[in-house]
Structure 1
Amino acid sequence: MNRPSPTSFLDRLEAGIVLGAEGYVFELERRGYIKAGPYVPEVVLDAPEAVRQLHREFLRAGSEVMVALTYYAHREKLKDVGRDGQLEEMNRQAVRLANEVAAEGGALVAGNICNTWSYDPADPVRTGELVRAQYREQLSWAVEEGIDLVIAETNDFVGEAEIALQVCQEFSLPAVVNFASVRPEETYDGYGYVEAVQRLADAGAAVVGLNCSRGPVTMLPLLERIRAATDTPIAALPVPYRTTEAVPAFESLTLPNGDRAFPIQLESVSLSRFELADFARRAAEIGVNYLGVCCGGGPHHVRAMAEALGRQTPASRYSPAMELHPVLGSEEQRMDNWQN
Structure 2
Amino acid sequence: MATVKGLRERLRDGETVVCAEGYMWELERRGFVTCGDFTPEVVLDYPERVKSLYEEFAWAGSDVVEAYTYYGHREKLKAIGREGDLESLNLKALKMAREVADANGCLMAGNICNTTVFDLADPGTVEMARGMFKEQIEWALKAGADYIIAETFSALTEAKTALEAIQQYGNGLPAVITMATYAYDVTLEGVPLPEALRQLELMGADVVGLNCGRGPETMLPLLREVKQVCKGPVAALPVPVRTTSAEKSMYSARDPRDGRLVFPEDVACRQCSRSDIRQFAQEARRLGVKYIGLCCGATPALLREVAQVYGKKARLSKYAPDTSRSFYLKAGASESGLTMRAFMFGEKDAWP
SS at match of 2:328: coil
Residue from 122, 130, 152 that aligns with 1:154? 152
1:42 has 2:57 as partner? no
SS at match of 1:117: coil
Residue from 164, 167, 170 that aligns with 1:169? 167
- In the other structure, the counterpart of 1:324 is 325
Residue from 118, 136, 140 that aligns with 2:138? 140
- Change in Cα spacing, 1:189 to 1:288, as seen in structure 2 (3 Å) is same
Please list the CA deviations of residues 275-300 of structure 1 after superposition, one character each: whole Å capped at 9, or x if unmatched: 11111110011111100000001000
Please list the CA deviations of residues 125-180 of structure 1 after superposition, one character each: whole Å capped at 9, or x if unmatched: x1110000000011111110110111100001000000100111112111110010
8 Å contact 2:183–2:252 — kept in the other structure? no
7-16 or 61-70, which deviates more: 7-16
Residue type matched to 1:311 in 2? K
Q: Hey, what's the Cα distance between the residues in 2 that align with 1:215 and 1:158?
A: 21
1:127 has 2:128 as partner? no
Q: Hey, what's the Cα distance between the residues in 1 that align with 2:160 and 2:225?
A: 21
Residue type matched to 2:308 in 1? E
Please list the CA deviations of residues 49-106 of structure 1 after superposition, one character each: whole Å capped at 9, or x if unmatched: 0011101110110000000000000101001111001000000001001011111111
- In the other structure, the counterpart of 1:338 is none
Residue type matched to 1:275 in 2? D
- Change in Cα spacing, 1:111 to 1:17, as seen in structure 2 (3 Å) is same
1:101 has 2:94 as partner? no
318-327 or 55-64, which deviates more: 318-327
Deviation at 1:301, TM superposition (A): 0.7
Q: Hey, what's the Cα distance between the residues in 1 that align with 2:242 and 2:90?
A: 33
Q: Hey, what's the Cα distance between the residues in 2 that align with 1:106 and 1:251?
A: 36
Please list the CA deviations of residues 285-331 of structure 1 after superposition, one character each: whole Å capped at 9, or x if unmatched: 11111000000010001111111223321101111222222221369
Q: Hey, what's the Cα distance between the residues in 1 that align with 2:191 and 2:90?
A: 31
- In the other structure, the counterpart of 1:59 is 58
Q: Hey, what's the Cα distance between the residues in 2 that align with 1:110 and 1:4?
A: 18
Length-normalised TM-score, structure 2 = 0.91
1:12 has 2:36 as partner? no
- In the other structure, the counterpart of 1:116 is 115
Moved >4 Å (runs of 4+): none
Please list the CA deviations of residues 238-272 of structure 1 after superposition, one character each: whole Å capped at 9, or x if unmatched: 00011111111111111131322111101221111
8 Å contact 1:4–1:148 — kept in the other structure? no
SS at match of 1:214: coil
8 Å contact 1:61–1:313 — kept in the other structure? yes
* Structure 1 stretches lacking a partner, 5+ long: 333-340
8 Å contact 1:198–1:230 — kept in the other structure? yes
Residue type matched to 1:148 in 2? D
8 Å contact 1:5–1:148 — kept in the other structure? no
Residue type matched to 2:142 in 1? E
- In the other structure, the counterpart of 1:203 is 203
Identity of aligned residues (%): 44
8 Å contact 2:241–2:250 — kept in the other structure? yes
SS at match of 1:69: coil
Residue type matched to 2:131 in 1? A
* Structure 2 stretches lacking a partner, 5+ long: 334-352
8 Å contact 2:183–2:247 — kept in the other structure? no
- In the other structure, the counterpart of 1:246 is 246
- In the other structure, the counterpart of 1:192 is 192
8 Å contact 2:185–2:222 — kept in the other structure? no
Residue type matched to 2:277 in 1? L
Q: Hey, what's the Cα distance between the residues in 2 that align with 1:5 and 1:238?
A: 30
- Change in Cα spacing, 1:96 to 1:123, as seen in structure 2 (3 Å) is same
Length-normalised TM-score, structure 1 = 0.94
Matched residues, number: 329
1:81 has 2:83 as partner? no
- In the other structure, the counterpart of 1:336 is none
267-276 or 321-330, which deviates more: 321-330
8 Å contact 2:182–2:213 — kept in the other structure? yes
